[in-house]
Amino acid sequence: MSVTVRVPAKVNVQLAVGAARPDGFHDLANVFLAVGLYDEVTATPAEELRITCAGPDAGQVPLDRTNLAARAALALAERYGREPAVHLHIAKDIPVAGGMAGGSADGAAALVACDALWGTHASRAELLDICAELGSDVPFSLVGGAALGTGRGEKLTPLEVGGTFHWVFAMAERGLSTPAVFREFDRLAEGRDIPEPVASDDVLDALAKGDADALAAAVTNDLQPAALSLYPELSATLAAGEAAGALTSLVSGSGPTTAFLVRDSASADAVAEALRASGTCRSVRVAAGAVAGATVV
Ligand code: C5P
């Protein structure tokens, strides 16, 4: 017997970042949108905890207990006083170290898969608790759809989405480490007054109306200057997507994946083709959202 859970990637349509807190994290106003690029995690009974991974980026995925899928299984097993005797296989399609919550997605998916496999029947609140311990973006991978994340991003308020948003994503040649991007944010912010992060009414209205033009005018990412500072070549990718007709372009989360909001699926295909031809990125994917969070298939 085995259980497979499908889990989406995310893009941040607003990422407002506050000053560094004493614990090193940053308070955020983080508007997440789940998009239809998926990993699948399959949990199968085994002698002991084991992780395997397949997919184009599989070579970059750690297979030890630092993997968020492994940490999720360990956390659930510990809570319920059982052995984490499970093989977790990750079929990876979300870019690794890309700012699309690929690692977080695997943590949420593994948690849901182990809960079903072991029949632990943890409540939604318990699962969300464990997710928040695993990482700031993990709770959103569980719930999907669209949500405002506050605190370090883990406290979620679900948001209404009034239509489908079409996106193109350009994967960069190399990854960026999230802590390094936050450190660069702190360095660039030195000596400046950093306001409290607050959700933008324009972003929330545009999401609720399903209005791509309004969303394009409203998206912001406070981590973008830091990501571009560490990875200046991303500017060329952003420019190539805009020149091809994207409504707007931005760095996804801490990057280096770049995201292009487009009007419809035909426009997505055209922008994707132009980005592929531009030679400014490693690969290009098209995806729409909002989509559901971690789901047993
Ligand atoms: O929570 P998570 O493990 O995903 O965070 C990875 C790193 O990103 C943290 O160690 C921290 O350096 C940075 N981070 C932050 N503020 C947040 C979320 C993450 O500084 N709200």
- ipTM reported for the complex, 2 dp: 0.95
Q: Quick one: pLDDT at residue 97? A: 79
Atom of ligand 1 nearest to the CA of 179: 12
What is residue 19's predicted lDDT score, i.e. its pLDDT?
Answer: 93
CA of 272 from ligand 1 middle (Å) equals: 30
State in Å: Cα 16 to ligand 1 middle. 14
Model pTM above 0.80 = yes
User: If you search the block for the tokens 């419809």, which residue do you land on?
Assistant: 264
Residue 28 beta carbon below 6 angstroms from any ligand 1 atom: yes
Binding residues: 95-105
For ligand 1, the distance from its centroid to the CA atom of residue 37, given in whole angstroms, is 23
Q: Residue 153: CB within 6 Å of ligand 1?
A: yes
Output the CA 275–ligand 1 centroid distance in Å: 30
User: Separation of 45 CA from ligand 1 center, angstroms?
Assistant: 32
Residues 113/42, Cβ–Cβ less than 8 Å: yes
Beta carbons within 10 angstroms of residue 192's beta carbon: 8
Is 186 tagged catalytic?
no
179 C-beta closer than 6 A to ligand 1: yes
Does the CB atom of residue 178 touch ligand 1 within 6 A? yes
Asked if residue 223 has its Cβ within 6 Å of ligand 1, the reply is no
Residue nearest to atom 12 of ligand 1 (CA): 179
Ligand 1 near 71 CB (within 6 A): no
**Which domains, ranges and CATH numbers included, belong to the chain?**
3-159 (3.30.230.10), 165-289 (3.30.70.890)
Distance from C-alpha of 31 to C-alpha of 17, rounded to nearest angstrom: 11
Closest alpha carbon to 57 in 7, 105, 110, 94: 94
Show binding-site residues for ATP.
Answer: 95-105
Coil, helix or strand for 4? strand
Q: What is the pLDDT of residue 135?
A: 96
Residue 23's alpha-carbon distances to 19, 20, 53, 141, in angstroms, are: 11, 8, 33, 23
| Structure confidence at residue 96 (pLDDT) | 87
**Whether the CB of 135 sits within 6 Å of ligand 1:** yes
Q: Is 137 a catalytic residue?
A: yes
Task: List the chain residues with pLDDT less than 50.
Answer: none
Select which of 27, 39, 106, 137 is catalytic. Answer: 137
Phi-psi region of 8 (alpha: psi -120 to 50; beta: other; left: phi over 0): beta
